[in-house]
Amino acid sequence: MEKLVRVENWRQRLNEHIHAHREKPFKLGSHDCALWAGSCIKVITGNDFISKIRGTYRTPEGAIRALKEVFDADNLKEVFSTRFEEIHIAFARPGDIVYRNSNLYGFDCVVGVCYGIHSFFVNEDENLLLEVDTMSLDGGWHIA
């Protein structure tokens, strides 16, 4: 598991990142849930592990193929669980990556970032970040 450290001013940087992406359109391969979560990890820790797949796919099938080729993973939970400590949602804290179980596009979950009592997810339907009650989610990972 990776042991990352949060950078100075990470909370302010995350707030600015969320604000800057509130109305950014969903697009597979450039602004989808995995890349959103990865960009939040980069803002908080400086680590950009997800960059290896950014821009390498445009379809759900391409995304699944990229996860397999780059991370040797069959699903999103596997990508994050092999790198970070998985937690019960009650222990999620601001900056942690959180998930909701789903079968959207054939993935096992959708991932977002915890901001406290609310978490933010990329929303394909309305092309904006979706604010969700954190306790309604299924789990998460401490990233640092």
- CATH code assigned at 111: 3.90.1720.10
Rg (CA), the chain: 14
Written as one string, the DSSP assignment of 44-91 is HHS--GGGGTTTS-SSHHHHHHHHHHHH--SSHHHHHHTTSEEE-GGG
Q: Does a structural domain hold residue 25?
A: yes
3-state class of 32 per DSSP?
Answer: coil
Q: Does a structural domain hold residue 96?
A: yes
Tokens read off for 59? 């379809």
Q: In whole angstroms, give the CA distance from residue 68 to residue 82.
A: 13
> What is the model's pLDDT at position 106?
84
pLDDT at 45 over 90: yes
Q: Does a structural domain hold residue 1?
A: no
How many separate domains does the chain show?
1
Q: Does a structural domain hold residue 17?
A: yes
- For residues 124 and 109, the model is more confident at 109
Q: Does a structural domain hold residue 125?
A: yes
Q: What is the pTM of this model?
A: 0.94
> What is the model's pLDDT at position 125?
79
3-state class of 41 per DSSP?
Answer: helix
Q: Does a structural domain hold residue 3?
A: no
pLDDT at 128 over 90: no
Mean pLDDT for 22-48 is 94
Mean pLDDT for 131-139 is 97
Q: Does a structural domain hold residue 100?
A: yes
Structural domain span for residue 26: 10-142
Q: Does a structural domain hold residue 110?
A: yes
